[in-house]
Amino acid sequence: MERTSPPRHRLIEAAARALVDPVFVLDREGRYLEVFGGTDREAYDSPDYLVGKTLHELMAPKLADVFLDTLRRVLDSRRPRIREFRLSAADFAGNRNDGPKGEQWFEARIAPVHADADELPECVVWTVINISQRKQLEAELQRLATRDELTGMLNRRAFLATLEAAMRQAQADAAPLVLAILDLDYFKTVNDRFGHMVGDAVLRHLSERLLRSADGALLGRLGGEEFGVLFTRSGVDAAMTVLRAMQQSCEEEPFHLGDTPVPMSFSAGVAALQPEQDEQPSDLLRRADHSMYRAKNAGRGHVVGPDCTLAPAQVASASVVLSADD
């Protein structure tokens, strides 16, 4: 007996209902005419309640305006568009909240429906794909590419790129910019005496104190025990105040190896942008580095400003426990 195929329209309807990702049909006024698919509850809330409602009935006015503007641009241009947006169940009135929790990232592919005006209303097909996992992966890859794994600060490449961009902006705006280079004192002695694992723990401990005291400054690990601190729209006096606060934090909260405190101090050199000189990042880095070595030669635990002003050491006890050169 020959098998009879189901009517084509029934097959299409059944296939559309089974789609994992939702497909919406909306008219020019932003009304949901049809909803298909969206069966994956790990990625989407149930969408069937949307039919017959408009964007402005479901969303906050500003959000609905954005979606409606995109829809009408597709209709007017007769060309498809791809947009990414972030939403949560709370953004939709009447949502059943039976899907994923929290904000989700979505990619929308919006295409005009080409049909005779006498037969079908002017409308678009709006296909949605949950791309939250992709966004999380991209964010993690970005973090790995720009962050130092040990300290969580910007890595050298990312810090120098940020410095270059900040210098261009400061030069264009005639705004102040200050760079400090910090070097942990006696770090070689720590590594030699206690081993590299303890050295890494000391660096993490120091980094936490620096980040906590940064007061808006941007920090990066330039390599080893050397760090950069970038102060945008801040003058030298403000930068020196922050650096002294960082020193004080290190003094008050030393690293502990068991019950034994390991005093920490750093030497720092400060350089201020000289806009009239058309400086490059390498110029500012060289001057800050030169000031940092002046601080080292002054006995460690000092900060040397751009005018060679020497700020006093905050951690005098460091040289008692860690007296070897680093």
Question: Residue 310's pLDDT is what?
Answer: 59
Of residues 305, 323, 213, the one with CA closest to residue 263? 323
Q: How many beta carbons lie within 10 A of that of residue 90, not counting itself?
A: 11
Pairwise CA distance, residues 84 & 103, whole Å: 13
Pairing mode, strands 104-112 and 177-184: unpaired
pTM value? 0.67
Question: Residue 5's pLDDT is what?
Answer: 65
Question: Residue 4's pLDDT is what?
Answer: 61
Q: How many beta carbons lie within 10 A of that of residue 15, not counting itself?
A: 11
Pairwise CA distance, residues 272 & 233, whole Å: 11
Tokens found for residue 261:
């405190």
CATH architecture assigned to 147-321: 2-Layer Sandwich (3.30)
Question: Residue 10's pLDDT is what?
Answer: 87
Question: Residue 308's pLDDT is what?
Answer: 67
Q: Do domains 8-139 and 147-321 have the same CATH topology?
A: no
Q: Return all residues near 276 (Cβ < 8 A) that are at least 6 apart.
A: none
Question: Residue 323's pLDDT is what?
Answer: 39
Q: Return all residues near 99 (Cβ < 8 A) that are at least 6 apart.
A: 41, 42, 43, 44, 45, 46, 89
| C-alpha separations of 275 from 23, 52, 175, 238, 295 in Å | 55, 61, 9, 19, 25
Give the distance, in angstroms, between the CA of residue 176 and the centroid of all CA atoms in the same chain: 25
| Beta partners for residue 105, in sequence order | 86
Q: Which residues are catalytic?
A: 225
Domain locations in the chain as residue ranges: 8-139, 147-321
Q: Return all residues near 323 (Cβ < 8 A) that are at least 6 apart.
A: 186, 189
Pairwise CA distance, residues 307 & 305, whole Å: 5
| C-alpha separations of 202 from 191, 207, 224, 265 in Å | 10, 8, 12, 11
CATH architecture assigned to 8-139: 2-Layer Sandwich (3.30)
Question: Residue 326's pLDDT is what?
Answer: 46
pLDDT tens over the chain, length 326 residues: 456 666 888 888 889 889 999 999 999 999 999 999 999 999 999 999 999 999 999 999 999 999 999 999 999 999 999 999 999 888 888 888 898 999 999 999 999 998 665 677 899 999 999 999 999 999 888 888 999 999 999 999 999 999 999 999 999 889 999 999 999 998 888 888 888 899 999 999 999 999 999 999 999 999 999 999 999 989 999 999 999 999 999 888 888 888 888 778 899 999 999 877 888 999 999 999 999 999 999 888 899 988 766 555 444 333 333 434 44
Three-state DSSP class for 214? Answer: coil
